[in-house]
């Protein structure tokens, strides 16, 4: 599994997380807020570490994938 700090600190990921936090603050805790990209957690994980790496990691290191999700 790749070093997740490298990905979680990537500017695009940081921007997405910050945008979601702002949307959550504006919407309130009881209003659903779709993700910035409208992708689910597995799709986002594939974009972060690559689909092939994600599929291998699901089979070989599922606990690390759970941390990513």
Q: pLDDT (tens digit, 9 = 90+) per residue, 21-65?
A: 888 899 888 888 776 565 678 887 887 788 899 999 999 999 988
Query: Six-digit token pair at 54?
Result: 């994600």
Could you state, in order of their start, the residue ranges of all structural domains in the chain? 4-68
Closest C-alpha to 16, from 37, 2, 30: 37
Angstrom distance (rounded) from CA 10 to CA 4: 10
More confident of the two residues 5 and 38: 5
More confident of the two residues 13 and 1: 13
Residue 64 contacts residue 1 (beta carbons within 8 Å): yes
Angstrom distance (rounded) from CA 67 to CA 39: 18
pLDDT at 2 over 80: no
């Amino acid at each position: 599994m790749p070093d997740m700090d490298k990905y979680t600190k990537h500017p695009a990921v940081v921007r997405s997380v910050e945008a979601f936090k702002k949307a959550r603050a504006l919407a309130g805790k009881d209003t659903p807020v779709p993700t910035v990209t409208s992708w689910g957690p597995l799709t986002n994980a594939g974009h972060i570490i690559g689909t092939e790496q994600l599929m291998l990691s699901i089979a070989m290191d599922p606990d690390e994938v759970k941390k990513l999700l």
